[in-house]
């Protein structure tokens, strides 16, 4: 793992290590269940063990890692039941973030959404799953930031991180289906509603998208319980 481009000199060492580990988890480089061995990570990022220990503690507090008996800290993934709860909360928050953002967004931000949608479609065409997810979240981030509520935006971003592993699997599955528009259909409709100044329509698109994802998770959960 190349860490040289990730370490920001203005941050504390613990902040820098946290940023590296968090990015590795989000990108899938450290998959669910990956053991966060303090000594190995310290050697990897070139620090002492103390900032690594602090970074792992923060990852546990943020829900990205958990302590497992006889294994230490490992990368955490949500089970299906937890995912249902996470998506229920996402629906509540993101519908409101969409409505507020659509009511307050300016033309420059709408242009950024449209440009981001183009880059997202390019990532789909190239089969770049992680880039697609980043672009997708960037498009939504522009809209949600227009709400003017940074606490709302940060909470949503935290939920995105917790759902990332599931989103990655879903995106890869969709990419394997030629002609499937599931990866961009809702985003296109969302941008169109925002461009039209229709906050209610935009909120409805977000509600439909997240409700559909929740239904898929619930179906998987029912199959798992059989």
Over the stretch 79-128, which tens digit does the pLDDT of each residue have? 788 889 999 999 999 999 999 999 999 999 999 999 999 999 999 989 88
Exposed, middle or buried by CB within 10 Å (0-12, 13-18, 19+), for 63? middle
Q: Which CATH architecture has domain 80-225?
A: Up-down Bundle (1.20)
Residue 223 has pLDDT above 70, yes or no: yes
Using DSSP, state whether 30 is helix, strand or coil: coil
Distance CA 78, CA 164 (A): 10
Domain with CATH 1.20.120.530 in the chain: 80-225
For the cut 50, the answer to whether the pLDDT of residue 8 exceeds it is no
What gap in Å lies between CA 38 and CA 17, rounded to an integer? 11
Q: Can you name the CATH fold of 13-75?
A: Arc Repressor Mutant, subunit A (1.10.10)
CA–CA dist 223, 206 (Å, integer): 26
Domain limits, CATH 1.10.10.10, in the chain? 13-75
Strand partners, 67: 73
Instruction: Please tell me whether residue 46 adopts helix, strand or coil conformation.
Output: coil
């Amino acid at each position: 793992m190349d860490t040289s481009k990730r370490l920001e000199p203005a941050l504390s060492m613990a902040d820098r290590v946290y940023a590296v580990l968090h990015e590795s988890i989000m990108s899938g480089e450290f998959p669910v269940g990956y053991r966060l061995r303090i000594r190995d990570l310290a050697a990897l990022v070139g620090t002492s063990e103390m900032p690594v220990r602090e970074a792992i503690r923060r990852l546990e507090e943020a829900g990205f890692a958990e302590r497992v008996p006889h294994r230490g800290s490992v990368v955490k993934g949500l089970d299906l039941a937890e995912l249902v709860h996470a998506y229920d909360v996402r629906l509540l928050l993101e519908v409101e973030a969409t409505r507020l953002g659509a009511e307050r967004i300016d033309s420059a931000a709408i242009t950024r959404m449209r440009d981001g949608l183009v880059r997202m479609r390019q990532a789909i065409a190239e089969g770049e799953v992680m880039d697609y997810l980043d672009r997708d979240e960037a498009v939504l981030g522009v809209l949600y930031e227009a709400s003017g509520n940074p606490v709302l935006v940060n909470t949503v971003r935290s939920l995105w991180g917790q759902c990332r592993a599931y989103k990655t699997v879903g995106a890869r599955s969709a990419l394997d289906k030629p002609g499937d528009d599931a990866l961009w259909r809702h985003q296109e409709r969302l941008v169109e509603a925002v461009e039209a100044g229709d906050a209610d329509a935009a909120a409805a698109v977000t509600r439909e998208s997240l409700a559909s994802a929740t239904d898929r998770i619930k179906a998987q959960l029912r199959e798992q319980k059989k």
